Structure 1
Amino acid sequence: MNRRLLALVALVGLVTLSGCMGGLGGGPTSPDRLDEPPAQPYDWDAEDEVHITVTSNVTYRAVYDLSAVNDSIRLSRPGFLGTDQPLTISSLRYRYPNGTTINGSDFGAHGGDVRTQNNHLVIEPPGEDGRLAYSGESTPKQFTHPVAVEGGNYTVVLPENREASIPLFGRIAPSAESKTVVDGRLTIEWTEITRDRLSVRFYLPRDVQLFGGLVIGLLGVAVAGGTYYRREIRKLKERREEMGLNVDIERDDDEGPPPGMR
């Protein structure tokens, strides 16, 4: 076994081991991570089965109506070499119908469970009713999230002044049934999602303006360069004609002797 193969095997082993140890230390089920307070209060009164709020500081907050959940919520994200990895979350909360809220590390004491299993983060709520919420990290101008409630209705609220309508800059997958702007925030709704993942690519209007300005600038440079090239070619032809060298400089087929030697 050569060194390259050994290095590849070692790398795969480290990735596998890191996935298996996801529940230890600072992994996706760390009590400290699950119990830390959310950056902003959860929208417990959202009427959707799944309501996700994306923030401008590259984070999100998700709230589930547990009446639409079958036993557990399974969450994963694409990982190394095409394998799935458990989704890393924080600030896990369960809210009983009477308004009592417990932290994620208390799920076990109330009949629930939080664990990693088969490359998924598995959340079993303490009750069949009520609501469950957690926070997570996103990426700039792109939000992707697993669909844990198959056939459920999802709502994603983007940060203020974001848009997703121009194909080159924005994309919503799968296609949404409704897009509205509420208080300056684009709200995207799916009445029924059958895919295993949803994705929204969004942008600021100034991004389009900057890109348009860049394209116009490049076109201007190209036009100016072409004009300058043609002008120089014309000057060169005129100069050769004045010298009696009436030669087509755009044609070089090496046919016949040079001018004046025929």
Structure 2
Amino acid sequence: MNRRFALAVAAIALLAVSAGCLGYATGGGEVTNETLDAEPPHGYDFDTDRDAAFNLTTDARYTVVYAVDDREEIRLYRQTPYAGDQPLEFEAFRYQYPDGEVITGSEFRARGGEIERTTDETWIRFADDMSGGKAAFAGAGSPRRFSMRAYVEGSYAVTLPPQFSTEVPIVGHVSPRDHAVETVGDRDRIVWEEVTSGSIVVQSYREGDLVVFGVILVIGAVAAVAGTLYFRRQLEALRQRRRDLGLGVYEDDDDDDGLL
């Protein structure tokens, strides 16, 4: 039995190692042109003056526009507690030249750009004539809690969906804390003038949710008061039964909130 168990463990370990080697050999999975050329959930804000501008929607999607400036490449990854760095997955890639021309992901590759995914990161590499442009793509991300690594240094902006806010503590949270909130139409936009490392985190709520939270708090408070009154009545009834039975009940029991 022990020998069979050892052989089974060895076989599983061999398969795991083989899978890992295969992952490295194949580059962690190709990013297809079909994925890169997909239609974005909405138009990209190429007019932004931020180095990184995120737009969140209620369908748990985000779009982002990065200023390329003179960068040669951008490394995109997510940190996980157990699996280490994992490649950031995205779609609907677009690149805008400084003159305003916008090309798709497959055209980006055809003109010398590279988009490569390895086992722990995704690389966007720009051709020599692509400095000063902007890169954009879409991915999955909820406005209720949105987190993203600071892949580029500079100014950042996160635009929330309509009727979402971060103003109330506990249900709303923003990091880093040195930020400002702008109102753009019917939407809040969180801005940072300088982010150099780490991550940005935005935890927001729909303003209508505050009514729900308030109702839950009221129900909880009423239940707590009712439970306390019920306990006190049961305690007093027990004391009265002890008196009726002639058992000792001390006068200071009335001030005792503990057990008899």
The interval holding the TM-score normalised by the smaller chain is 0.7 to 0.9
Quick one: which amino acid aligns to residue 145 of structure 1?
M
Aligned match of 1:201: 203
Alignment match of 2:160 (pick from 158, 161, 165): 158
Q: Deviations over 1:232-254 (max 9, x none)?
A: 332343344345x143397999x
RMSD: 2.9
For normalisation by structure 2, the TM-score amounts to 0.82
Aligned match of 2:173: 171
Gapped regions of structure 2 (runs ≥ 5): 1-5
Matched residue SS, 1:187? strand
Alignment match of 2:183 (pick from 178, 181, 184): 181
Structure 1 residue 181, shift from structure 2 partner: 2.1
CA distance in 1, matches of 2:212, 2:25: 45
Matched residue SS, 1:37? coil
Aligned match of 1:46: 48
Runs (4 or more) in structure 1 with deviation over 6 Å come to 249-253
Alignment match of 2:132 (pick from 129, 135, 143): 129
Alignment match of 1:213 (pick from 209, 212, 215): 215
Residues 42 and 22 of structure 1: CA distance in aligned 2, closer, same or farther (over 3 Å): farther
Matched residue SS, 2:195? coil
State the aligned residue count: 247
Matched residue SS, 1:81? coil
Residue pair 1:94, 1:125 contacting (<8 A) in 2 also: no
Residues 109 and 237 of structure 1: CA distance in aligned 2, closer, same or farther (over 3 Å): closer
Structure 1 residue 9, shift from structure 2 partner: 7.5
CA distance in 2, matches of 1:178, 1:227: 47
CA distance in 2, matches of 1:16, 1:210: 50
Tell me the percent identity.
29
CA distance in 2, matches of 1:252, 1:94: 72
Aligned match of 2:3: none
Q: Deviations over 1:9-35 (max 9, x none)?
A: 7568657755765664xx5x2211100
Structure 1 residue 139, shift from structure 2 partner: 3.0
CA distance in 1, matches of 2:196, 2:54: 17
Structure 1 residue 66, shift from structure 2 partner: 1.8
* Greater mean alpha carbon deviation, residues 201-210 or residues 180-189: 201-210
For normalisation by structure 1, the TM-score amounts to 0.82
Structure 1 residue 105, shift from structure 2 partner: 1.6
Aligned match of 1:259: none
Residue pair 1:161, 1:184 contacting (<8 A) in 2 also: yes
Gapped regions of structure 1 (runs ≥ 5): 254-262
